[in-house]
Amino acid sequence: MQKSDQKIIFIDVETTGVNPERNGLTQISGCVQIGDEVKESFDYFVRPFSHDEIEAEALKVTGIDRRQFLLPDHPDHLAVDGQNFEDPKDIYVRMAVMLGKYVSQYDKTDKFQFVGYNAHSFDMPFMRRFWEKNGDRFFGSWFWYPCLDVMLVWAQILQPVRAELSNFKLATVARHCGIKVDDSRLHDSQYDIELTRELWLSAHKIINQGNKEQPSWSQGELFA
């Protein structure tokens, strides 16, 4: 693999709340893309750390029952097909091994570009804190900073028609851009990252058009 191949990792997370200090992860999904090729996808269900606060509103959004977080041998454990919540330390190790297949954390010129929707203020901070909770302060050794936030990219592209959108949530923006959305699958991070990647690819085409339809910010006219 040549270093010139762009290394992108798309990541979306589901959590037990909105504060990465107090709350924890419940799902991490995404894919690794090298150049134009998706090398592998991942979808981990994560058992929160014992000290992570679990907020009822967050569970309502994801549809998860807190009994699913109990160990399988616990009498109150609730098993749900396709949702096997694993020890956070095990997930951390598996993710680190996966990252190490594509980039060198010790090479300052070899990193992943972290891409997500609202990733700058949500997904990346939660992932960084997840690393720290596992005793690893070197989350940044894997990724370029800042991340590429698909929400902010589309905020610029859609700025002239922003008033037409009732909000700027992932599903709303995807629909506005002509992407079919299955409401029943929203807030499953595996589905959310699929939508995110579709939006990223669409934005990438616009950015690279090189014609009059190209957004002004990519022509150096943003502050004109």
Listing DSSP states for the chain in one string gives --TTS-EEEEEEEEESSS-TTTB-EEEEEEEEEETTEEEEEEEEEBPPPTTSB--HHHHHHHT--GGGGS-TTSTT---BTTB--B-HHHHHHHHHHHHHTT--TT-TT--BEEEETTIIIIIHHHHHHHHHHTT---GGGSB-SS-EEHHHHHHHHTGGGGGG-S---HHHHHHHTT----GGGTT-HHHHHHHHHHHHHHHHHHHT--STTS-GGGGT-TT-
Res 224: pLDDT: 42
Print the domain residue range for 105: 7-149
Residue 156 forms part of a structural domain? no
Residue 216 forms part of a structural domain? no
Res 100: pLDDT: 98
Residue 76 forms part of a structural domain? yes
pTM score of the predicted model = 0.90
Residue 200 forms part of a structural domain? no
Res 99: pLDDT: 99
Res 216: pLDDT: 52
Per the structure, how many domains does the chain have? Answer: 1
Residue 199 forms part of a structural domain? no
Residue 218 forms part of a structural domain? no
Find the CATH number of the domain harbouring 76: 3.30.420.10
Res 207: pLDDT: 86
Query: For each of the chain's 224 residues, which pLDDT tens digit applies?
Result: 444 589 999 999 999 999 999 999 999 999 999 999 999 999 999 999 999 999 999 999 999 999 999 999 999 999 999 999 999 999 999 999 999 999 999 999 999 999 999 999 999 999 999 999 999 999 999 999 999 999 999 999 999 999 999 999 999 999 999 999 999 999 999 999 999 999 999 999 998 885 445 455 444 444 44
Residue 41 forms part of a structural domain? yes
Res 222: pLDDT: 45
Residue 205 forms part of a structural domain? no
